[in-house]
């Protein structure tokens, strides 16, 4: 396997572990807010919360990214990249778009 492949694989594993550790921390700090920010339903949130450190490392060892980016929505992406509304108002607009998307997905 070429060096670049090993480097990319190592980077993916690092991102996975960081994501899982962040997910657990967000869920422990505020379960409902963590679920919203991560886009998790209750079943997934409960499983992630119960993962032991050894299980986190094993799951993070996947050669594929386990997190999903939610930037495939044009309205959301454009609201995040354009400073039309400015500051807090823009952040609120992005949060509303994410909430609408989460509600649509769960319906």
**Whole-structure pTM value:** 0.68
Residue 93: pLDDT band by 50, 70, 90 thresholds?
Answer: low
Q: 73: alpha, beta or left, given left = phi > 0 and alpha = psi -120 to 50? A: beta
In the chain, domain spans: 1-68, 69-107
pLDDT in tens, 13-49: 999 999 999 999 999 999 999 998 898 999 999 999 9
* Torsion of the alpha carbons at 77, 80, 85 and 88, rounded to the nearest 10: 140
DSSP 59-96: HHT-SS--S------HHHHHHHH--SS-HHHHHHHHHH
Residue 1: pLDDT band by 50, 70, 90 thresholds?
Answer: very low
Homologous superfamily (CATH) for 1-68: Flagellar transcriptional activator FlhD (1.10.4000.10)
Q: Measured between alpha carbons, how far is 54 from 37 in angstroms, rounded to an integer?
A: 25
Is residue 63 over pLDDT 70?
A: yes
């Amino acid at each position: 396997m070429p060096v670049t492949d090993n480097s990319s694989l190592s980077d993916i594993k690092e991102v996975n572990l960081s994501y899982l550790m962040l997910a657990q921390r967000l869920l422990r700090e505020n379960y409902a807010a963590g679920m919203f920010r991560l886009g998790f339903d209750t079943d997934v949130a409960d499983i992630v919360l119960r993962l032991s450190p050894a299980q986190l490392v094993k799951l993070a060892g996947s050669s594929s990214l386990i997190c999903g980016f939610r930037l495939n929505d044009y309205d959301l992406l454009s609201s995040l990249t354009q400073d039309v509304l400015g500051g807090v108002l823009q952040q609120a607009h992005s949060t509303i778009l994410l909430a609408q998307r989460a509600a649509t997905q769960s319906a």
